[in-house]
Chain A
């Protein structure tokens, strides 16, 4: 019996193992190998040195962080109150959720195209703002930093909301009632009961959101200025690979991206260590 369950275990795991091996592990190590060699195949750290010594390249890290960190914070800070408000379910929740999922399903290119016309200099939004007299000149929402930031938030906010709603719904609503009967105000209940239990979900959401924003490519190209202020790190990797055909250099950029993401996640996790890390529900005793 034991032997059989071992074999069936392997069979169940096989698709996942194959997937990981061929589509993640192999390409990852191949990329790592490329990044650490030159075009003739000899080991070198030259690719990394070249990236950090060239301000035009190294600056992409800063540009990307400047987009990714505000995007993450804005998305989460908008999503937290909404998820909190909807934690016990409200009327019309399905419709609200549908509207929030749409941006994710439609994809960033579709949204970018929409934004280009809607928010462009002669778009609806600017005409509205000028008609009601808020602005005299059309505001530039596109082809700049603001455009990319907006596109990222439009994608990041519903993603954050859904993740946060999932994690807050997992908190037993009786805990709030208990806190209330023990004398806690709404704020005290939020601060002392909900937030500590929600923190796990919030940090997870923070990390994933950051990673998504940090790897931004289509929005930065379509809505930003890909040759200047929004030349994010993924554009650099793209240009090395498909404009200069230097795959070693391109891989090095990708590895740097990965390292920065890991550093961010580690910082988040270290901050997280301070709080409660167990389940948000108690199992049967």
Chain B
């Protein structure tokens, strides 16, 4: 859908005073795609979104829709002429207008005739299940309903591009998952090209066709949710995507082309590296670049295994229902975090045996990107 093939953002930079908020941001978004900007707060993801919307002027760079340049830092199409819809974290509903008039706002500005406005607004309110609240004011409806009004207000103008700025972060956990599902269904149904900003990796994984991981104003990695989740390109992306065990390591030796023996303090661990992760240990072999190994807590197994067996002392156990989160130490110096569905009844102070599957270990050097 959509009346364009792709949106192309080239070398986007934004500085606030001396602070660089966004640095050399390049991205191409295909029509109909759902792209998520994922990053911790202060990573510049919302700034990028506001720049695309035209709400803040860019410092340099270019934004194209196909061949049409909508912003080059000097000339820019104003936000009100871009026909991009935006949903804000606090929804930004007009408190003095009822649900109908909030949704109709963009159509009235476009001088659409009255009957058509009524029809379109009613249709879109049906779509987001809000028909019974049509004459209520934003202050009278719940947060989840306000969220739907904000979405409806954005969809009804048939935007070329939909920009969502952490739209679910003000909702409670249950509603957030419901709305996430609805967002996805809505995107499937309408096919509106969407850029979504969030700091929540679950949301990003669940919703996106592609994820752009950002930190300190720079893109860290672009890829499908699977790529980002299982093959992070840098230590930062790995730690952000749930590789909570990150240990500084030394390279002992290469056992074979892809097997490397690592030393973590007094521990010796064998890692089986995918091609992608070979270059940093190879580079580090001679020099003294710091190297790190990363493992997800849920990839660590409890019990005896073929390799990488470690006896650890349990320090803290968190019961999370389906899983248990365990913090443990090996040789009093290496912290290991694991989560398990094993109904094991480990208590703090006990020693348990764990093993780490070698193919689950990723190896990074510090300055990867």
Complex contact B79–A181 (CB within 8 A): yes
Complex contact B92–A174 (CB within 8 A): yes
Which A residues touch B79, using CB under 8 A?
A: 177, 180-181
Q: How far is B138's CA from A179's CA once the two chains are assembled, in angstroms?
A: 16
Complex contact B53–A181 (CB within 8 A): yes
Known A-B contacts A278-B139, A282-B138, A283-B139; the reply to A177 vs B55 at CB < 8 A is: yes
Which B residues touch A180, using CB under 8 A?
A: 54-55, 78-80
Interface assignment of B93: CB less than 8 Å from any CB of chain A = yes
Known A-B contacts A174-B88, A180-B55; the reply to A285 vs B142 at CB < 8 A is: yes
Complex contact A181–B95 (CB within 8 A): no
Interface assignment of A182: CB less than 8 Å from any CB of chain B = yes
Interface assignment of A117: CB less than 8 Å from any CB of chain B = no
Complex contact A177–B86 (CB within 8 A): yes
**Which B residues between 151 and 184 are near A, CB-CB below 8 angstroms?**
153-154, 157, 163, 170
Q: Which of A172, A179, A181, A284 contacts B170 (CB 8 A)?
A: A284
Which B residues touch A278, using CB under 8 A?
A: 95-96, 137, 139
Complex contact A282–B95 (CB within 8 A): yes
Complex contact A181–B139 (CB within 8 A): no
Q: How far is B139's CA from A283's CA once the two chains are assembled, in angstroms?
A: 7
Q: How far is B146's CA from A183's CA once the two chains are assembled, in angstroms?
A: 21
Interface assignment of A129: CB less than 8 Å from any CB of chain B = no
Q: How far is B95's CA from A172's CA once the two chains are assembled, in angstroms?
A: 10
Q: How far is B93's CA from A280's CA once the two chains are assembled, in angstroms?
A: 11
Taking the nearest CB of chain A, how far is it from the CB of B165, in angstroms?
9
Q: How far is B84's CA from A174's CA once the two chains are assembled, in angstroms?
A: 15
Interface assignment of A256: CB less than 8 Å from any CB of chain B = no
Q: How far is B101's CA from A276's CA once the two chains are assembled, in angstroms?
A: 13
Complex contact B85–A181 (CB within 8 A): yes
Complex contact A279–B80 (CB within 8 A): no
Known A-B contacts A182-B106, A183-B157; the reply to A282 vs B146 at CB < 8 A is: yes
Q: Which of B80, B91, B96, B106 contacts A196 (CB 8 A)?
A: B96
Complex contact A182–B141 (CB within 8 A): no
Which B residues touch A183, using CB under 8 A?
A: 80-81, 83, 106, 109-110, 157
Interface assignment of B191: CB less than 8 Å from any CB of chain A = no
Q: How far is B110's CA from A242's CA once the two chains are assembled, in angstroms?
A: 66
Over the window 329-368 of chain B, the binary record of Cβ atoms lying under 8 Å from chain A Cβ atoms (1 yes, 0 no) is 0000000000000000000000000000000000000000
Over the window 231-257 of chain A, the binary record of Cβ atoms lying under 8 Å from chain B Cβ atoms (1 yes, 0 no) is 000000000000000000000000000
Complex contact B95–A177 (CB within 8 A): no
**Which A residues between 78 and 98 are near B, CB-CB below 8 angstroms?**
none
Which of A172, A174, A178, A279 is packed against the most chain B CB atoms within 10 Å?
A178
Known A-B contacts A174-B90, A284-B143; the reply to A182 vs B153 at CB < 8 A is: yes
Complex contact B157–A182 (CB within 8 A): yes
Interface assignment of B229: CB less than 8 Å from any CB of chain A = no
Q: Which of B81, B96, B142 contacts A197 (CB 8 A)?
A: B96
Interface assignment of A212: CB less than 8 Å from any CB of chain B = no
Interface assignment of B247: CB less than 8 Å from any CB of chain A = no
Count contacts on A: residues with CB < 8 A to the other chain. 27
**Which A residues between 180 and 222 are near B, CB-CB below 8 angstroms?**
180-185, 188, 192-193, 196-197
Complex contact B110–A178 (CB within 8 A): no
Chain A: CB-nearest residue to B82? A181
Taking the nearest CB of chain A, how far is it from the CB of B50, in angstroms?
8
Which B residues touch A193, using CB under 8 A?
A: 94
Which A residues touch B92, using CB under 8 A?
A: 172, 174-175, 177-178
Interface assignment of A281: CB less than 8 Å from any CB of chain B = yes
Which A residues touch B93, using CB under 8 A?
A: 178, 282
Chain B: CB-nearest residue to A188? B109
Taking the nearest CB of chain A, how far is it from the CB of B59, in angstroms?
18
Which of A175, A177, A182, A193 is packed against the most chain B CB atoms within 10 Å?
A182
Chain B: CB-nearest residue to A177? B55
Which of B83, B95, B109 is packed against the most chain A CB atoms within 10 Å?
B95
Q: How far is B154's CA from A178's CA once the two chains are assembled, in angstroms?
A: 9
Q: How far is B88's CA from A71's CA once the two chains are assembled, in angstroms?
A: 41
Taking the nearest CB of chain A, how far is it from the CB of B12, in angstroms?
18
Which A residues touch B85, using CB under 8 A?
A: 181-182
Which B residues touch A174, using CB under 8 A?
A: 88, 90, 92
Q: How far is B85's CA from A179's CA once the two chains are assembled, in angstroms?
A: 10
Interface assignment of B105: CB less than 8 Å from any CB of chain A = yes
Interface assignment of B209: CB less than 8 Å from any CB of chain A = no
Complex contact B146–A285 (CB within 8 A): yes
Which B residues touch A282, using CB under 8 A?
A: 91, 93, 95, 138-139, 146
Which A residues touch B57, using CB under 8 A?
A: none
Which A residues touch B105, using CB under 8 A?
A: 179, 182, 184, 192
Q: How far is B98's CA from A205's CA once the two chains are assembled, in angstroms?
A: 27
| Sample (13) of A-B pairs whose CB atoms are under 8 Å apart | A172-B90, A172-B92, A174-B90, A178-B86, A179-B105, A180-B54, A181-B55, A181-B80, A197-B95, A281-B95, A283-B139, A285-B141, A285-B146
Q: A196-B96, A279-B139, A284-B170 are in contact. List 13 more A-B contacts (CB 8 A).
A: A172-B92, A174-B88, A177-B53, A178-B88, A179-B105, A180-B54, A181-B80, A185-B80, A193-B94, A278-B96, A281-B95, A282-B138, A282-B146
Which 9 pairs, one residue from A and one from B, show the smallest C-beta to C-beta distance? A285-B143, A276-B96, A182-B106, A174-B92, A178-B92, A285-B142, A181-B86, A180-B79, A183-B109
> Could you list which residues of chain A lie within 8 angstroms of chain B, going by C-beta atoms?
172, 174-175, 177-185, 188, 192-193, 196-197, 275-276, 278-285
> Could you list which residues of chain B lie within 8 angstroms of chain A, going by C-beta atoms?
53-55, 78-86, 88, 90-96, 105-106, 109-110, 137-139, 141-146, 153-154, 157, 163, 170
